[in-house]
Chain A
Amino acid sequence: MSTEKILMKGNEAIAEAALRAGCRFYAGYPITPQSEILEYMAAHMKEWGGTFIQGENEIASMSMLWGAAAAGARCMSSSSGPGYDLKQEGISYLSSYNLPAVIVDVMRYGTGDGEITEGQDSYWEAVRGGGHGDKRCIVLAPASVDECAKLTYEAFDLAEKYRNVVIILSDGAISQMVEQCTLPEAKEHDINKFDWTLTETKKKEDKKNKVTNLDRTIGKPAFNSMMREKFKTMFETEQRWEEVETEDAELILVAYGISSRVCKTAVREARKKGLKLGLIRPISVWPYPRKAFENIPDHVKGYVTVEMSLSSQMGEDILLACKHQRPLYGYLTAEDVPEPEGLIEYCEKILAGEIEAMEVL
């Protein structure tokens, strides 16, 4: 199978790209709007010689990843909303063992049961969460079906590069949308390529690795400095973002995922009316692309965060990134996908001085 352009749903692109990246272990549990990932894995994992398991619940499915990752397999799980909550303990344990794994969170809107439709109000959970303790997960947010494939494929390499959990933060819109996608080249992963994995021992003198909390094996001081160093390296090395028409923008929209798609339309339409909008689209939301907010030019009067959430969740990251040097405004549409017309009108009001900067709570 070579690279080819194909029409797919976002969820299918994630699953297919994972298989092509050498993912040979998937465990999960169905929940809308991520179920197509699980269904795709159920239908196709066998063709690739891997293992698909629908666990008895989220926690069991998640826990199975520890085993697969400890054995050196490329492994993945996926969920949404309340199902993703149940993965937090597992993310914490994977992190304490320094095990690489890829977890997909397809955000649906709301607290508790909430809705089954798109939302972006689980940003904090994905970016700041991951259960108890101090750890950082790399979090990548695709904004197209093509990017679903590209980022998932890359996520496995990143996970192994840092021995870290990588999260693909999708949403109900990107996951259900059909679009063209270029699928990456299929590759095989060698389960025995690392020296730290659990392996079969045939003779007494064979090396026996233990996979456990690293602080127990290498000592707390070594563990602490190693982790701090790892967070810093990931932060400095893995910032990703896209900029659209920022060169002369008066207001810069900041959005990821489905909202960033709407912002692209808004930037294009606003410029037809002479309104100079630009867009910074974070692709990595951890590490947040702070480099995109360095040396802010004088023509930038403020930033507008566009999110499908009740309160601004990403706003904190923008204020940290721009060091409070510009006012921040929030176009927050909760359960509704933002519309370009409304957003443009909001920006016109900001420039007319009719809207006050937002306080991030």
Chain B
Amino acid sequence: MADIILAGFGGQGVLTAGLILINVAVKQDKNVTWTSSYGAEMRGGTASCSVVISDEEIGSPYPTKLDVLLALNEPSYDKFLPMVREGGTVIVNSSLVKKENYPDNVNVWKIAATDLANEQGAARNTNIYMLGAFVKATGMMEKDFFIEQMNAYFEKKGKINPANAVSIERGYELAEKV
């Protein structure tokens, strides 16, 4: 069971990252829900989606306490950090989230997702680097399985791109626990 929020600004691919996550999770025979904020927040503010992954029937699809937060920018980090459970996991895009101190009652992982995506020449893969770090930090899914299912997801959409697997591998390798 994991209650997850992925958040950033529009264009960083947070909604897609959430969809990839649930597509992999259903292949592990989990129940999943995905909800996004589609109101006024979409116009320039924080874009976010909530993902619930569970062995049980899922009640509310809107988690109020988080096991995992993926923060792709600083406003998202500030907004959702208070929702993270004691002992929960926070994965920050350290290219944009530059805090001097992080709380010690949660496990914080850093990945310079935006910089790494730019270096790879895959500027839109910030979200995929974050997922690589997610796989490493949570251990919820096996890396090769994740890549295989992610590729299957994109294949269904007719958007096969070998850069994605590279981003997962690199994100996994370079994610650092604070």
**Partner pick for B38 among A7, A117, A337, CB 8 A cutoff:** A117
Task: Judge if A261 is at the interface, Cβ distance under 8 Å.
Answer: yes
Closest A residue to B153 using CB positions: A7
* B106 at interface by CB-CB < 8 Å: no
A178-B33, A261-B59, A265-B60 known; A116-B23 Cβ under 8 A: no
Please name the residue on chain A nearest to B56 by beta carbon.
A268
User: In the complex, A4→B26 CA distance in Å?
Assistant: 13
Q: Give Cα A324–Cα B165 distance, bound, in whole angstroms.
A: 62
Q: Select from chain A the residue with minimum beta-carbon distance to B57.
A: A264
Contacts of A339 in B (CB 8 A): 60, 62, 64
Q: State the Cβ distance, B30 to closest chain A Cβ, in Å.
A: 9
**A340→B63 CA distance, assembly (Å):** 9
**Cβ–Cβ < 8 Å partners of A222 in chain B:** none
Closest to B34 in A: A178
Q: Which of B19, B31, B35, B57 contacts A177 (CB 8 A)?
A: B35
Q: In whole angstroms, how far apart are the Cα atoms of A263 and B34 in the complex?
A: 18
Contact mask for chain B residues 25-65; partner A; CB cutoff 8 A; 1 contact, 0 none: 01000011111101100000000000000000111111010
Q: 11 A-B Cβ contacts within 8 A?
A: A5-B26, A7-B19, A7-B22, A7-B23, A33-B38, A115-B39, A116-B38, A173-B35, A178-B34, A337-B62, A339-B64
- B residues lining the A interface (CB < 8 Å): 19, 22-23, 26, 31-36, 38-39, 57-62, 64
**Contacts from A to B (Cβ < 8 Å):** 5, 7, 32-33, 115-117, 173, 176-180, 261-268, 337, 339-341
Give the 4 A-B CB pairs with smallest separation, nearest first. Answer: A265-B59, A264-B59, A178-B34, A262-B60
Given contacts A265-B60, A268-B59, A339-B62, 19 further A-B contacts (CB under 8 A): A32-B38, A116-B39, A117-B39, A178-B32, A178-B35, A179-B33, A180-B26, A180-B31, A261-B58, A261-B59, A261-B60, A261-B61, A262-B59, A262-B62, A263-B59, A264-B57, A267-B59, A337-B60, A340-B60
